[in-house]
A and B are shown apart, each in its own frame.
Chain A
Amino acid sequence: MMDAKTLIARRVALEIKPNTLVNLGIGLPSMVANYLPEDVHVFFQAENGVIGLGARPPEGMEDPDLTDAGGGFITAVPGAASIDSAMSFGLIRGGHLDMTVLGGLQVDTRGYLANWMVPGRMVPGMGGAMDLVAGARHVIVAMQHTQKGRPKIVPECTLPLTAERRVSLIVTELAVIKPTENGLDLLELAPGVSVEEVIAATEAPLNVRDTPSVMKLVDA
């Protein structure tokens, strides 16, 4: 049995279209890059200033001036460009970023995402998350379906919102869900998961029209 994060990353990888500019959040979303089909060429943006983020360099070959948004050492792929923060966020807000993949704390029936703070407990700051959700053409939330058994897909976010915008798609280890103006459509089920199991793990109402298809995955 594949772990939840790997399954989510392998499903999200299918959403990435060739010749696009994509921003992956830190943590689970960054795993998506590992499962990109070989024939799909994209440029990954690191919002701290690289278009064309590459893999971690070999030990001892790191450049202290070439890092990702989490401060980890990276490389730049052929064709890469280095940019300053004003242009980096101009790309994000200005409609030039095709897709962002972000983690989530809550998503609600409206498709609104909360992913940057838990009042009184965790106040790290929003970093680039608000600009990414407000500005990227497609926003994919890649997250585990529940946290310690508590549903993260809820009728209305109780945590402060990241943006007042309907995200494009939610991918969890149980299901693929598409927020629409009529609520949350259950599109796909993970292998071996039933509609009832997804409903039980989801606090928000789900629209289940036909029999949802089984989640397709990028080959490992």
Chain B
Amino acid sequence: MKTAIKPETAAEMVPDGAVLHIGGFMGVGTPNRIIDALVARNARDLTVICNDTAMPGVGIGKLVAADAVSTVIASHIGLNPETQTKMIAGDIRVELVPQGTLVERIRAAGYGLGGVLTATGIGTPVEDGKQTIDIDGITYLVEKPLRAGFALIAARQADYVGNLEYTLTAHNFNPTMAMSADCVIAEPHHIVPVGVISPDAVKTPGVIVDHLIERAA
């Protein structure tokens, strides 16, 4: 049985300087109420690992606009000019990672693996400074695991023990990130009694979820 907490409480748990996984793809499947609470508490110096920084005024874009973020590790920032402006000004450090590599680096950390071997990025700037390994005649890049202190994730619904079910394109990075952080905070659209989510439909088992955000007022 989990206790549902307020977004403000979650935002207090996340200290300045923390490393965060934040779920979402262009703002879809992003835990917006936790983000709003982080902005409200004036969070600073966060490292945010995410697919993208959404758009100005949307999801992770709000953290960028509030100067809460010092480092972004993402596959795409192209639809958020604010991230690009801050990157060029030197206010945010941005590490760009191919999308499939990003999700596998997060997965490797959560699944206890020492890294990922992928051909993606060979012969491109992504290869710079990285080790390569030849296996059966194919050259792979060695990509390191990417773990976070906190995973802030969004789900369609949670039950009282924290089992999570996702929906449509709001899955994206959420199930992978939930495996890959010291503290997992989930913001579901709905919280339902145990049994409502069938065991077959559970994509993130409640045993790895630390906190649920209470339902919206």
Contact = CB atoms under 8 A, between A and B. Distances in A.
Q: Do A and B come from one complex?
A: yes
Contacts of B7: none
Contacts of B169: 46, 48-50, 65-68, 82
B156 to A, nearest CB: 7
Interface in A61-91: 63-71, 76, 82-86, 89-90
Contacts of B75: 125-128
A131 interface: yes
Contact of B98 (A69, A130, A164): A130
A5 interface: no
A131 B101 contact: yes
A163 B124 contact: yes
B99 interface: yes
Given A85-B176, A128-B98, A160 B120 contact: no
Nearest to B170: A65
Interface string A40-61: 0000001111100000000000
A89 B103 CA distance: 8
A123 B123 contact: no
Contacts of B118: 93, 134
A208 B34 CA distance: 60
Nearest to B74: A125
For chain B, give the interface size range.
35 or more
Interface residues of A, number: 42
A192 interface: no
A66 B99 contact: no
A63 B104 CA distance: 28
A84 B203 contact: yes
B98 A131 contact: yes
A23 interface: no
B107 interface: yes
Nearest to A134: B120
B87 A123 contact: yes
Interface string A118-146: 00001111111111001100000000000
A124 B171 contact: no
A195 interface: no
A107 interface: no
A125 B76 contact: yes
A13 interface: no
Contacts of A100: none
A160 B25 contact: no
A85 B203 CA distance: 13
Contact of B76 (A89, A92, A126): A126
A124 B77 contact: yes
A161 interface: yes
Interface of A: 46-50, 63-71, 76, 82-86, 89-90, 92-93, 112, 122-131, 134-135, 160-164
Given A85-B51, A89-B103, A125-B52, 10 more contacts: A65-B168, A65-B169, A85-B99, A86-B176, A128-B100, A134-B118, A134-B119, A163-B120, A163-B123, A163-B124
Interface of B: 25-29, 51-52, 55, 74-79, 84, 87, 96, 98-101, 103-104, 107, 118-126, 156, 166-176, 203
13 contacts: A48-B172, A65-B170, A66-B168, A68-B169, A70-B26, A82-B167, A84-B171, A123-B77, A130-B126, A135-B100, A162-B124, A163-B124, A164-B122
